[in-house]
Amino acid sequence: MSHKAQAEVITIVLITGIVIGLVGVAYMWGMPLIQKRTSVTEFLSAEDFASKLSDKMVEIASSGFGEATLAIPKGIIRIKEFNESGLLNPDYNSVILEVPVSHPLAMSSSVVLRTNVLGENATYGEAEPRVINMSSAVSDSINKLIFNIHFRELDTRSQPPKGYIIGVEKGAVTGSSQVIVSYAGTKLMNGEAANNGDLIVTKIKVDVV
């Protein structure tokens, strides 16, 4: 083989090696960026869903009738029902969306989203009846974002004192594509509000189909 032919072969081998190396570097650095962008997109979609779902539940509770259906963008819905013995307990009265993501976005404590006033008990007319929290977890090597839509008690400052709360009621859970929320009645709990007034519980049923 001539020196020229050998040089051409060596050149082809070198170029091929460089291309393979560049592809490897691009994959190593590019894939995490793609995964992060995908995770951000999934986060924004889930956050928007949680906000719209809570708004619909509040709207139905305020009007005292109605029903709404929302498509679940991704993940599963869990329901923690209102518990009369667990008033002011954040472990109850929540709708939870768990979304698997390709890349972790937050691995620390819970983050509060779209909520202007914090606390398990707040003032009626000044604070939202819900608090939306987002946290993350890893289960079986799967990264998850967990959105917790929790409903809290709102108390009046005027006399006579009263308290209001949306009570989450678990309905049928037969699928994971849609969530249906509907008015399920009102209950009066005498003297059970945090301000010692009567507590008015507006029940919202949550079905997942």
Query: Which tokens go with 90?
Result: 């954040």
Q: According to the model, what pLDDT value does residue 29 have?
A: 41
Percentage of the chain lying above the pLDDT 70 cut: 78
> Is the confidence at residue 8, as pLDDT, over 60?
no
Q: Tokens 């009738």 sit at which residue?
A: 65
Q: How many CA atoms lie within 13 A of 190 on its CB side?
A: 0
Quote the percentage of the chain above a pLDDT of 90: 58
Contacts of 194 (CB under 8 A, 6+ apart): 87, 88, 121, 153, 155, 163
User: Tens of pLDDT along 116-164?
Assistant: 888 889 999 999 999 999 988 887 888 889 999 999 999 999 999 999 9
pLDDT value at 194 more than 90: yes
Mean per-residue pLDDT over the chain, rounded: 83
Give the tens place of pLDDT for each residue, 63-89. 999 999 999 999 999 999 998 877 777
Confidence of residue 36 (pLDDT cuts 50, 70, 90): low
**121 DSSP 8-state letter:** E
Question: Residue 22: its pLDDT value, please?
Answer: 42
Q: At 207, give phi and psi (nearest 5°).
A: -110, 145
Kind plus residue range of the DSSP H or E element containing 135: strand 130-139
Domain ranges of the chain: 3-208
Q: Are strands 198-208 and 162-173 parallel, antiparallel or unpaired?
A: parallel
If we measure between CA atoms, which residue out of 59, 55, 78, 84 comes closest to residue 201? 84
C-alpha dihedral (77, 117, 123, 189), degrees to nearest 10: 20
176 in Cβ contact with 96 (< 8 Å): no
- Of the two residues 89 and 19, the one the predictor is more confident about is 89
- Cis peptide bond upstream of 129, omega within 30: no
User: In this model, does residue 4 exceed pLDDT 70?
Assistant: no
Residue 151 β-bridge partners: 130
**SS3 assignment, position 151:** strand
What confidence score (pLDDT) does residue 16 get?
47
Element (H, E) at 94: strand 94-101
Residue 113, pLDDT above cutoff 70: yes
